[in-house]
Amino acid sequence: MSAEFVLHGRMIKSGRAEGRALVSPAPIGFLGGVDPDTGIVLEPGHPLQGQSVAGKVLVFPTGKGSTVGSYTILRLAHNRVGPAAIINAESEAIVAVGAIIADIPMVDQVDIAQIQDGDWVVIEDGTLTVTRR
């Protein structure tokens, strides 16, 4: 049986998207940390190392690293291997700019501990509908 609940956050990039949640307890640095050609997380020791962000609702606390990470997010989108949406506990400029220029819906100020890996998440502007699977 599936349980559904709603969360609200601050809209960074408007839009609607849905997909399976890929949840990381650790920040993500996109430049060097995610392959822009494949969408695979490359950062050694990262909890998501070896997993693909492609088509997922990517949930992580915050971003980190170089400002070129914004361009990496854009490349992920152009290569059709980017996340369907991004949810952060607290956004920062690198990921926010990347989501905006790549046209990826993004929300922050969300209690990400309530979202589990594999949940189905529908994001529409600042509202998230989460179905536990």
12-55 pLDDT, tens per residue? Answer: 999 999 999 999 999 999 999 999 999 999 999 999 999 999 99
The one-letter amino acid code at 129 reads: T
- Cα separation, 125 vs 33, in Å, equals 27
Look over the chain and give the mean of its residue pLDDT values, rounded to a whole number.
Answer: 97
pTM: 0.97
Q: Is 74 helix (H, G, I), strand (E, B) or coil?
A: helix
In the chain, % of residues over pLDDT 70? 99
Q: What is the predicted pLDDT for the residue at 53?
A: 99
Cα-based distances in Å from 72 to 41, 43, 88:
12, 14, 17
Q: What is the predicted pLDDT for the residue at 2?
A: 79
The architecture that CATH gives domain 3-132 is: 3-Layer(bba) Sandwich (3.50)
Q: What is the predicted pLDDT for the residue at 1?
A: 61
Angle, alpha carbons 129-90-49 (nearest 5°): 80
Catalytic residues: 66
